[in-house]
Structure 1
Amino acid sequence: MRQLNKPEAYQVWEEKDGWLNLGGEQWVKYNPAYIRFEKQESVNPIVGKRVGSKVDNLRFYDTPSWQDSAVAGTVDSGEGFTIDEKVSVNGSPQFKVHNSKGRTYYMTASEAFVYVK
């Protein structure tokens, strides 16, 4: 448990049952007497949704790349990440994503290999 200090500002990834998710498993109780929460409508409706793999051994990357040297690991069918944004890498779409620990990765956005929910 930790205390947030007055000048600190955070991006809120999710609002649920009076709690604000600051990334990963970090949650803070929303009390308007102490916290100013400015909701901004997402420009992209996929932001914050989950992308899951339709196949086993789908590669994900440390950087926006398709190169073998950038491969961070693989996910199996049903596994995935939370979407931060959609990007174009050499003309092909990737999702910039993060895992439950807040670590950023990139993976294909091709509907042949992934689904969004």
Structure 2
Amino acid sequence: MVALNYRKDHVIKNKYSRSGDPLIKVQAIVVHYTANPHANAEDHQEFFDGADGGNYRYAGAHIFVDKDEAVEVIPLNEVAYQANEKEPRLSTLKATTSYYPEGNANLLTLSIEMCIEEDGSFHPDTVERTRLVVKYLQNKFPQLRDTKNRVVRHYDVTGKICPKPFVDDVGAWKDFLNSIDQVEKKESKPAAKPQTKPSYVGKRAESIYRGKEGLDFYSKATFNDKYRAGVLHYQYGFPKIVRKLKVEGAYMFEVKNSKGHTYYITAAPKYIKVE
């Protein structure tokens, strides 16, 4: 049985992914997909966390959902840059403020990003967990309980083909909406932390950075050059990830090489692939 497995891991305030601007009110939920088959919910949290807010691009979402967990990365009373690349097609989602002129849907909605599998599809557990997240939000914000009018696709807001599996298959989208209102014997409750072991533990960390200088790795959990132990070039890696830790505002993997020696390297998904 799929559990909610909802946790909070907010990204730091920054110009690009978390402005800290308040929502005017919560008018609807906008459902998206990540379009990134190589990354789970935690990977996306890490990508948007930091001063660059995800590679200096104005984007983000409140909650990322994968087949194992749901991660809230932006507080539910703040704006996320997620559904305002065009004038909204829904008149109910037009809005403006002095601090965010013509912010429209971004000022009025909560956003859910659904992670995808390697083939671009949604894992059934991701769909079910997204349903549970919607129910969780409807319990927090009773005005969202009018599911068919208050739960919409990014496509419905601006016309963008997102979430693609639910745009390509309208029947699947309708089935998803209908499933939200199904009567349940017992409502799932958010867990403080997922009960499953992190998916990266024991896996290989491989560099996907193509720069000639390579990726530095360190003898201690720091990005200080004093403890730089070597360089990892493109497609080279460490055979075993031990754990992930936050260091100086960013994430690192503690890894072991083939001889069992311990090192530390960035865990940023734009530089490291877990396999």
TM-score of the two chains, using structure 2 as the length reference? 0.27
Larger Rg: 2
Inter-partner Cα distance in structure 2 for 1:47 and 1:98: 11
Which of 65, 68, 78 pairs up with 2:235?
A: 78
Inter-partner Cα distance in structure 1 for 2:206 and 2:196: 21
3-state SS in 1 of match to 2:242: strand
Question: Which residue does 2:199 correspond to in 1?
Answer: 45
3-state SS in 2 of match to 1:69: helix
Q: Which AA in structure 1 matches 2:243?
A: E
1:86-101 aligned at under 5 Å gives the runs: 86-101=244-259
Inter-partner Cα distance in structure 2 for 1:97 and 1:43: 16
Inter-partner Cα distance in structure 1 for 2:268 and 2:243: 14
Inter-partner Cα distance in structure 2 for 1:98 and 1:90: 21
Q: Which AA in structure 2 matches 1:115?
A: K
- 1:29-82 CA-partner distances (Å, limit 9, x unpaired): xxxxxxxxxxxx972221100010012511000000000101000011011111
Inter-partner Cα distance in structure 1 for 2:234 and 2:263: 17
Confirm or deny that 1:59 pairs with 2:216.
Answer: yes
Confirm or deny that 1:104 pairs with 2:262.
Answer: yes
Q: Residues 42 and 70 (structure 1 numbering): CA distance in 2 closer, same or farther, change over 3 Å?
A: farther
TM-score of the two chains, using structure 1 as the length reference? 0.62
Inter-partner Cα distance in structure 2 for 1:58 and 1:44: 24
Which of 61, 68, 71 pairs up with 2:225?
A: 68
Greater helix fraction, Structure 1 or Structure 2: 2
RMSD across aligned C-alpha pairs, in angstroms?
Answer: 1.5
Aligned length in residues: 77
Inter-partner Cα distance in structure 2 for 1:44 and 1:104: 19
Q: Residues 42 and 74 (structure 1 numbering): CA distance in 2 closer, same or farther, change over 3 Å?
A: farther
Determine which structure has greater relative contact order: mean sequence separation of CA pairs < 8 Å that are 6+ residues apart, divided by chain length: 1
Q: Residues 74 and 42 (structure 1 numbering): CA distance in 2 closer, same or farther, change over 3 Å?
A: farther
Inter-partner Cα distance in structure 1 for 2:236 and 2:246: 22
1:2-21 aligned at under 5 Å gives the runs: none
Shift >3 Å, 4+ stretches: none
Q: Which AA in structure 1 matches 2:252?
A: Q
Inter-partner Cα distance in structure 1 for 2:196 and 2:206: 21
Identity of aligned residues (%): 38
